[in-house]
Amino acid sequence: MVPGNRYSNSILSAKRIRTMNGEFLKVDGTTLVGNATSADLVVDLVDIPARNGVIHVIDFVLLP
């Protein structure tokens, strides 16, 4: 989870994003890279508006 409403264009244009626990995820194309794992954004399932934020589907669980 990341703070705020982050749409895919702002995520993909970033080099890294800060998570809610203060760690960083590196952004490499459509791949989010954590300390121990990486996950690809499922491009046709991004920018889904929700009541408390924006949902982006990824293909793997990211572990710190």
pTM: 0.68
Residue 63: its pLDDT value, please?
Answer: 62
pLDDT at 54: 92
Query: What confidence score (pLDDT) does residue 47 get?
Result: 92
Residue 25, judged by CB atoms within 10 A of its CB (0-12, 13-18, 19+), counts as buried
What does the pLDDT read at residue 64? Answer: 57
Instruction: List the domain boundaries for the chain.
Output: 8-55
- How many beta carbons lie within 10 A of that of residue 11, not counting itself? 19
Ordered mean pLDDT values, 10 residues apiece, the chain (64 residues): 86 88 86 80 84 86 64
- Name the residue among 23, 38, 17 with its Cα closest to residue 8: 17
Tokens of 21: 């626990």
